[in-house]
Amino acid sequence: MAILAVSFIHDEGVFGTPLKLACQYGQLPVVEYLMSTGRANILDRGHNNTASAPDVAAESGYLPCLRTILDYPEHGLRDAGLTPPGSDDGRRLLHHAIRSSAEEVINCVLEFLGLPTDTDERDSWKGQGFSDVQRDIAFQGLIAAIGTGRYAPIRLLADYFMLNNHMAISEVSKLDAQQLFGGRWYATSNNDLGAFKLLLELDNQRRLATGAVKDEFFHLTLHRCMQTAIKDGSLDVLRYLIEELGCDIYKVYSQDPNPTVGLFSQTALELAVEYGKLDIVRYLLEECSADVAVGDRVPLRTAISSRNTELLKLMLEYGGPVKAIQPSEELDFAGRERIAIETHGDRSAGDRDITLTWRVVEADFNPITWFRTSKAMSFFLITQDDQEWWRNVVQRSRRFRGVMA
Higher pLDDT, 322 or 191: 191
List the domain boundaries for the chain. Answer: 299-400
- The pLDDT tens digits of the residues spanning 253-301 come to 877 777 888 888 899 999 999 999 999 999 999 999 998 877 777 787 7
Q: Is 393 within 8 Å of 325 (Cβ atoms)?
A: yes
Lowest mean pLDDT of 81-90, 113-122, 343-352, name the range. Answer: 343-352
pTM of the model: 0.81
- The pLDDT tens digits of the residues spanning 194-204 come to 999 999 999 99
